[in-house]
A = this chain, B = another copy of it.
Amino acid sequence: MAELTYREAVAAGIAQEMERDELVVFLGEDVAAAGGVFKSTVGLLERFGPKRVRDCPISEQAIIGAAMGAAMTGLKPIAEIMFSDFLAVCWDMVANEIAKTRYMTNGQIQLPLVIRTANGAGSRFGAQHSQAVENWAMAVPGLKVVAPSTPADVKGLVAAAVRDPDPVIVFEQKSLYAVKGEVPDGEHVDVLGKAKVLREGKDCTVVALALMVPRALEAAAILEKEHGISCTVVDVRSLVPLDTQTILAEVAKTGRLVTVEENPRLCGWGAEIASIVADECFWSLDGPIVRITTPHVPLPSADQLEDATIPSVARIVREIREKMD
């Protein structure tokens, strides 16, 4: 096992797949010569050359459209959208073209492509560069969606996304890029659609994603130690496909569900999970379902404001305590 940062693990995942398969190509803005604005693709140009690793104009529609056209004719493109907020600029390509084409053509066109993007808050960049928008993608039929929380997961899920025959969007969390973690040596490929149970508890099942996972774990430790509340923590990892078996099973065991979401409140992924649990797991529930989310506001930029807006460890602890009373 080597210790890598999350950003290094992204590059390692891409490199592993480009090494394996010549049809894998990578494109985006400032990704090649500069190695990406988050330095998550450093070294790829040097290793795979300018034919396979390409810098693009500021043309997100062209980038994603080109990835789509290349994918339907035999390549396996990985396209980077620098900040996930910019998905809005090419949302038609993502939500109306890529997501629907296989279905509309009754399976004639296959789109083995990956869109990677830096998602979420923590960098004081303000409301146009900091949103968590994984729920936008989850809402669109025809897209697979993952949001890894560790270096090992990001490497393995990027690799799995490249190998998957369907379009996959990988949401990388900006605030996790500098985080270090063990990554398995050699080829590492994960599986789409599997949640991970990171901690087992008796009182409450906490379901979290991406940056909220380490926070949920920390909160669970505090709740256990200081308040005697014992929490299961599930890392959802993949929003589509969604591992409802794991989630339902873990909620059934504790009788309570708390979601911890970075996305703003309305129509967040937690709402979907809550609605599934409230239907299929209703009779096992011992109390209300609780959602802890970013409030339904655009994100403020000042450091104190931003920190106080997205769910913090302290807020998770406080809300779970209050609701478990």
The interface of chain A, by Cβ under 8 A from chain B, is 85-86, 88-89, 91-92, 94-96, 99-100, 103-104, 126-128, 135-136, 138-142, 240, 263-272, 274-275, 277-280, 282-283, 285, 287-291, 296-298, 300
Contacts and interface: CB of A to CB of B under 8 A. Distances in A.
Contacts of A127: 96, 100, 103-104
Quickly give the copy total for this chain.
Answer: 2
Contact of A271 (B126, B272, B297): B272
Contact of A128 (B89, B100, B271): B100
A88 B92 contact: yes
Closest 3 CB pairs of A and B: A274-B275, A282-B288, A88-B92
7 contacts: A96-B127, A99-B298, A103-B297, A139-B139, A140-B264, A278-B288, A279-B289
Given A126-B104, A275-B274, A138 B267 contact: yes
A271 B282 contact: no
Given A135-B267, A267-B271, A279-B290, 17 more contacts: A88-B96, A99-B298, A103-B127, A139-B139, A139-B266, A141-B296, A142-B297, A265-B272, A271-B271, A271-B274, A274-B275, A274-B279, A275-B275, A275-B289, A279-B288, A279-B291, A282-B285
Contacts of A285: 282
A38 B135 CA distance: 31
Contacts of A95: 88
A8 to B, nearest CB: 30
A282 B289 contact: yes
**Most chain B beta carbons < 10 A, residue from A91, A135, A263:** A91
A298 B85 CA distance: 23
**Most chain B beta carbons < 10 A, residue from A100, A267, A274, A279:** A267
A134 to B, nearest CB: 10
Contacts of A274: 271, 274-275, 278-279
A85 B138 CA distance: 16
A136 B138 contact: no
A174 B140 CA distance: 20
Contacts of A96: 85, 88, 127-128
A268 B92 CA distance: 19
Given A271-B275, A275-B274, A135 B139 contact: yes
Nearest to A282: B288
A287 B280 CA distance: 10
**Most chain B beta carbons < 10 A, residue from A139, A275, A296:** A275
A285 B280 CA distance: 14
**Most chain B beta carbons < 10 A, residue from A85, A140, A270:** A140
A307 B189 CA distance: 41
Nearest to A239: B266
A282 B287 contact: yes
